[in-house]
């Protein structure tokens, strides 16, 4: 009853347009007061929920992603992928999916990625004759897939919430992301033949070499991250510092198109975003306390007990719930509210924590781009100047491809566990 009242307060505050993090804080404080719990729990939970070494990676990756986008690295990646796959029928559409995979690795922020891909790729897609509905769908589906590609801020947060290794989780994301990318590429190939999408470029070794030289600067980053993690050279926090330093020197010595004032502004924006994320984690720890003392995990465990013998059914159920949370609450609030409840249940069932985290990450990524309320989808539609009603029919095949990819990840845990085990990050 207490949690229902807290949820009602939260919903009312959201309807009055209060920012989610403050709505969580106010409703959590109200829950402590109404339930008669010691109010000191609020302050102590805020402190304990915000203290973690791995969270230091967030400002570094956010700063690096913003600086790389400012330098124009996304344009270099787009040109290179168009040279690689543009000669295939529907090659420009395929290049959207490929560049979303690589750009996720250097960007770290879904909203920044949607903005970069929308502004860079929407004009050439329109010029090539793609319908706006398909253009928006390609960008939305590609960015949803990219949620699994490190260094995603969400992965850092979920590692903190579940007390797992961020490095192992980063490594676990590469192959599942490639799995969903393959599903999307098959869909683009089929639609290209159905709707006669054009060939983008002619096969050219010279063009690949020319664009590859320009794309080499940003492509160094995923290689460094992957090799560094596999060889155990650095932690996630140290990787953030390495990537930020690389972006800084690339901007100064190679691109030379970003002023120091702009860098300071990017650093300030990174600090603000980091503060918001950490405050959200701190407030969510109060919710974890409330859910624990009211017996929510035990109740949910009893409800999900029939699924104990079939891990894949449990993960499908959790994935569907997570997608709904991700669509309504956005990614990070969904994680910090839902995961502390369901993660202990998954552990008791014997589900590998990294496989579970990858399923949750993929589900949140899809949820962010689900109609009618997914904030990522709404941002992509803004670039295409479309409403949800105009777009949803054309988007259904892309959602189906994302769901098929997610189902493969659920059914085959080794897709998530292969790289971390190869690197010795998990037993």
* Average predicted confidence (pLDDT) for the chain: 84
- Percent of the chain, pLDDT > 70? 94
Q: Which of residues 291 and 223 earns the better pLDDT score?
A: 223
The pLDDT value recorded for residue 106 is 62
- Cα 290 to Cα 33: distance, rounded to the nearest angstrom: 11
H helix runs in 195-235, sequence order: 205-230
Structure tokens at 425: 């990050």
Structure tokens at 172: 């676990």
Structure tokens at 135: 């253009």
Residue 298 has pLDDT above 80, yes or no: no
Residue 119 has pLDDT above 80, yes or no: no
**Structure pTM?**
0.85
Residue-wise pLDDT tens digits, 70-100? 887 777 888 888 888 888 888 889 999 998 8
The pLDDT value recorded for residue 172 is 95
Burial of 65-76, coded b for 16+ CB within 10 Å and e otherwise, reads: bbbbbbbbbbbb
Residue-wise pLDDT tens digits, 241-282? 888 898 899 889 888 888 889 999 988 988 887 887 778 777
- Of 182, 24, 184, nearest to 93 (Cα)? 184
What are φ and ψ of residue 199, in 5° steps?
A: -75, 140
Any idea where the domains of the chain sit in the sequence? Answer: 38-422
The pLDDT value recorded for residue 110 is 67
Q: Do 296 and 340 form a contact (C-beta atoms < 8 A)?
A: no
- Cα 418 to Cα 293: distance, rounded to the nearest angstrom: 38
Q: Which of residues 322 and 117 earns the better pLDDT score?
A: 322
- Of 137, 120, 115, nearest to 197 (Cα)? 137
363: pLDDT confidence band, cut at 50, 70 and 90?
Answer: very high
Residues 17-22, mean pLDDT to the nearest whole number: 77
Q: Write the secondary structure of 64-91 as one string of H (helix), E (strand) and C (coil).
A: HHHHHHHHCHHHHHHHHHHHHHCCCECH
Q: Do 346 and 358 form a contact (C-beta atoms < 8 A)?
A: no
Residue-wise pLDDT tens digits, 25-78? 888 888 888 888 877 777 777 776 666 666 777 888 888 878 877 887 777 888
- Cα 47 to Cα 18: distance, rounded to the nearest angstrom: 23
Distances (CA, A) of 385 to 133, 141, 166, 357, 370: 10, 17, 37, 34, 17
- Of 24, 41, 21, nearest to 32 (Cα)? 41
């Amino acid at each position: 009853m207490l949690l229902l009242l807290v949820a009602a307060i939260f919903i009312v505050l959201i309807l009055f347009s209060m920012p989610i993090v403050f709505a969580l804080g106010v409703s959590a404080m109200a829950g402590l007061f109404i339930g008669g719990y010691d109010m000191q729990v609020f302050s102590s939970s805020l402190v304990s929920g915000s203290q973690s070494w791995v969270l230091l990676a967030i400002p570094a990756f956010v700063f690096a992603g913003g600086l790389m986008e400012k330098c124009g690295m996304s344009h270099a990646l787009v040109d290179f992928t168009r040279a690689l796959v543009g000669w295939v029928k529907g090659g420009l559409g395929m290049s959207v999916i490929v560049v979303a995979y690589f750009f996720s690795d250097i960007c770290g922020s879904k909203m920044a990625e949607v903005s970069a891909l929308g502004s860079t790729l929407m004009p050439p897609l329109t010029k090539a004759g793609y319908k706006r509905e398909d253009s928006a769908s390609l960008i939305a589906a590609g960015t949803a897939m990219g949620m699994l590609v490190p260094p995603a801020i969400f992965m850092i947060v979920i590692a903190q919430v579940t007390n797992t290794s961020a490095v192992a989780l980063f490594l676990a994301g590469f192959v599942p992301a490639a799995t969903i990318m393959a599903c999307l590429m098959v869909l683009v190939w089929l639609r290209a033949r159905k709707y006669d999408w054009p060939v983008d470029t002619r096969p050219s070794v010279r063009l690949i070499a020319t664009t590859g030289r320009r794309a080499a600067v940003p492509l160094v980053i995923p290689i460094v991250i992957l090799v560094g993690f596999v060889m155990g050279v650095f932690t996630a926090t140290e990787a953030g510092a390495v990537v930020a330093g690389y972006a800084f020197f690339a901007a100064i010595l190679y691109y030379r198109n970003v002023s120091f004032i702009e860098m300071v502004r990017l650093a300030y924006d990174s600090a603000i975003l980091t503060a918001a994320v950490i405050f959200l984690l701190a407030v969510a720890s109060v919710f974890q306390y409330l859910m624990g003392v009211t017996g929510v995990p035990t109740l949910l465990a009893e409800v999900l007990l029939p699924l104990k013998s079939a891990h894949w059914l449990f993960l499908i159920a959790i994935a569907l719930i997570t997608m709904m949370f991700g669509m309504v609450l956005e990614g990070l609030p969904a994680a910090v509210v839902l995961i502390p409840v369901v993660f202990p249940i998954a552990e008791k069932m014997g589900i590998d924590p990294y496989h579970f985290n990858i399923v949750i990450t993929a589900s949140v990524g899809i949820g962010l781009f689900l109609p009618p309320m997914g904030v990522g989808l709404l941002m992509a539609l803004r670039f295409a100047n479309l409403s949800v009603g105009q777009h949803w029919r054309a988007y259904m095949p892309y959602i189906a491809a994302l769901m098929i990819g997610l189902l493969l990840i659920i059914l085959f845990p080794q897709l998530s566990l292969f790289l971390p085990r190869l690197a010795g990050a998990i037993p």
